[in-house]
Each structure stands twice: as C-alpha cells, then as structure tokens.
Amino acid sequence: MTAGAAAFLAYGRQSIADSDIEAVVEALRADYLTTGPMVERFERELAATVGAKEAVVVSNGTAALHLCVLTQDLKPDDVVIVPSITFAASANCVAYCGAQVIFADVDPLTGLITDETFDAALSLIAPSQRFAGVIPVHYAGRPVDIRHISAVARDRGAFVIEDACHALGSKGPQGTIGACTASDMANFSFHPVKTLTTGEGGAITTNDPELARRLRQLRSHGIERDPARFEGLGYGDGDDTGPWVYEMQSLGYNYRLPDINCALGVAQLTRLPWFIERRKALVAAYQAALAQSPLPVSWMPPAAGDDPVFHLFAPRIDFAAAGQTRAEVMAALRKRGIGTQVHYIPVHRQPYWQTRQLSPRELPGADAFYRSTLSLPLYPDMDDADPARVIEALKEVLG
C-alpha cells in the first residue's frame, strides 16, 4: 500500500493482501467453519515455523496465557513472577487461576525483565509460599535472555511460560522464540497490530505432547472425545462408549479459534518472511533518521547476537528536556498525521493490582521506562520514507 505524503500513520495496523482474502473466502465455502481441518493445518504450520513440536491455537492471546497457567494446577499460596512492563493479561492469567503475583522490575532502557530483577523478586517470596513459575515477556519483540531464569526455575520445580505475544519471528540466545528450548510453553497473539493476524486469535507452542493434549481439552470445555481416554459415565453399558459419547473431564472453556480465522493465519504465515523483512527495514530506517537528528530521543539497539522482529518501535523521549508533556507531544504529532501509543502503564500501578500484588514496592526501572516511552508507527505496509517523515515531525514538535 502506498500511503502518500498526507496519509495518517497509525502506530500499528494489519496487512491484508488479496491472498488473505481469497483464503478466507475459500474457508467460508468449505464444509467446516469451526473445529475443522484448517485448525490442524494452522497448528502444524505454526509449530514448524517456530521449531516447536506442538502448537495449539485459541481465540486470543489472553486465552493462550490463561490456558498456559491453568495447566499448572496452581494453589492459593503459589507465587508467579511477572514483569511490570507488559499488558495486564500477563498477570491477570495468574489471578484467574487463584494464585499470587509478585512483580519484577525491568531494565529502564529496554522494558525487559533481567536476571537481576528476577532474582530480586524471587528473594521476596516467603518460605510459606511456593515459587511456582515465571512469565518473562519479550516486550516489543525484543527477546529476553531467559537462560538464567530457566535454570533457576527448573532447579526449583517451577514453570517458565514465555509471553511471546510481541515476538513471532524473533531470535534470542535461547534460539527462536516459540521453540521452547528453555521454557515449558510460549504464547502468541494474532491481534491485528501484531506481526501476523487472524483477526483475533492466539496460540501456545510446546514440546510436550501431553501438555498440548491437555491444552486442547481445556480450550473446548474440558471435553474428551477419545474413547481410549474415557473415565466412564457410570452407565456400565453401551451408553458409556457409543459414537456420540464425550466426557467432560475438567473445567474448561470455549477458547476455540474458527477455521475462518485459521485460514487467514495460514495465508499470513506464507507472508511472514516479508512481514519480518519489512519490519527490520523500517526499524533500520528509524535508526538512520534518529542518528541524523539531534533530538532528546534514544533507542536501545538489539543486544549482540539477538535477531528481533520488532512489533513496536518504542524509543525513549526526554519530555522534560523538550519542555513538553507526553500528551502534548502525542497531540501535536496527531495533528501532523502521526499516530502514537504508550506501551505500557506498569501493571503494578493498576488499582486492581496495587492491593493484590505480593511485596508491593517501588519499581524504578518500570516507572522510568513508562514515563519516557512512546510507540511510533510500525507496520509492514508503511512506505520506506515514512520513518523519516515521523522523525521529521518529531523534530518539529520537540523543537
């Protein structure tokens, strides 16, 4: 899409091609609109893309997080560590399951949980409580090095669930995000602004077939349809095992992703290499434009050896040095056709979590990151010249 000089640039948006539309139309004409063959195909191709043995697709990224934690059978005194810079769902999924959250601080330059902030949060868990797991967040697509976190968790019998909603296609020290080489599960979101979209949708990847089986059961009301796994309805005759029989073996949810959405996902997977290429090119253009502009704006380049696919381009801006508030800067950019957003308000500051988190305390890294961050437009259909246009608008606004 050619935006044109005056086109409004949202901070993020979907990229839909004729091939995507054709795939959805074909699915609409097929025999199954839900729980059909496109679900298994999308799962199979997604797993192959990230290098995991299993992928389980669900209705959205929050559902993916919820089911991940639900499989861990948490108790009220169990504690899960979550970084404060993330969307609320990363912590809420623990509350859904009746366990406790302690928030970890983050690197003020990247927004990522670090070995040090993880260890600090871990040290605050009381002896009467159990460290049950950790949910590192690959914020903006920048990979967290989870090797130390994973080693500590495995030594203590705790889980590691990677919140990879921003990070499809990214690679870090542990390899491709989603391959689960140092985690139990990773979850993705396919919301329209993410790297790949199914409209709404999400997925969980894992290398544990039994875990994948349980995830599939939980996403569909806890229902088991395999007679080999039946526990018995209690009739003691053919009504226990007839071809119509199903068993609800656990308390599950309706988190299924329809075939229509999965058809879009399959089509988008074929475009993923281009999505990755475009995002990398646009981030490089932003870096080049910033390097030539004496602005109170900084952006941390990827760590050596990392290969991120950025979902967000979220530099840090010294609003005090510019003599303007963030709200004033956002309004002025909008008048110039530039959409922006803030990712994220630290979750430990949210009213719900202020009274429910364990060991409430100051998290200076998270607060510093929040106060200075601003997400600028980044999506594949942007023109090559758009990053320079955005930075030029920032120069006008920041003076």
Q: What is the pLDDT of residues 252-311, one digit of tens each?
A: 999 999 999 999 999 999 999 999 999 999 999 999 999 998 899 999 999 999 999 999
Average pLDDT over residues 196-218: 98
Percentage of the chain modeled with pLDDT above 90: 96
* Length of the chain as a residue count: 399
**Cβ-defined contacts of 381-386 (< 8 Å, 24+):** 381/1, 381/3, 381/13, 381/15, 381/278, 382/3, 382/9, 382/278, 382/282, 383/2, 383/3, 384/281, 384/282, 384/285, 386/3, 386/9, 386/282, 386/285
Residue 176 in domain: yes
Residue 138 in domain: yes
Q: For residue 107, give the nearest of 122, 98, 118 by alpha carbon.
A: 118
Beta strands in the chain (DSSP E): 54-58, 78-83, 100-104, 130-134, 159-163, 171-172, 175-176, 185-189, 202-206, 223-224, 247-248, 297-298, 316-317
- State the pLDDT at residue 324: 96
- State the pLDDT at residue 252: 97
Average pLDDT over residues 236-248: 92
- State the pLDDT at residue 3: 43
Average pLDDT over residues 319-331: 96
- Tens digits of residue pLDDT in 97-144: 999 999 999 999 999 999 999 999 999 999 999 999 999 999 999 999
- Give the domain extent around 214: 18-271
Residue 369 in domain: no
Average pLDDT, the chain: 96
Residue 295 in domain: no
- Tens digits of residue pLDDT in 47-74: 999 999 999 999 999 999 999 999 999 9
Residue 351 confidence (pLDDT) above 50: yes
- State the pLDDT at residue 2: 43
CA-to-CA distance for 332 and 327, rounded, in angstroms?
Answer: 9
Q: Judge contact between 204 and 181, C-beta under 8 A.
A: no
Token output for 337: 């056709």
Q: Judge contact between 154 and 131, C-beta under 8 A.
A: no
Residue 2 in domain: no
- Hey, which residues are catalytic here? 194
- State the pLDDT at residue 209: 98
pLDDT band at 5 (very low <50, low <70, confident <90, very high): low
Q: Judge contact between 187 and 136, C-beta under 8 A.
A: no
pLDDT band at 4 (very low <50, low <70, confident <90, very high): very low
Domain containing residue 170: CATH number: 3.40.640.10
Residue 322 confidence (pLDDT) above 50: yes
- State the pLDDT at residue 378: 98
Residue 180 in domain: yes
Residue 116 in domain: yes
Percentage of the chain modeled with pLDDT above 70: 98
Residue 327 confidence (pLDDT) above 50: yes
Residue 6 confidence (pLDDT) above 80: no
If one counts the domains in the chain, the total is 1
- Tens digits of residue pLDDT in 146-194: 999 999 999 999 999 999 999 999 999 999 999 999 999 999 999 999 9
Average pLDDT over residues 353-379: 98
Residue 380 in domain: no
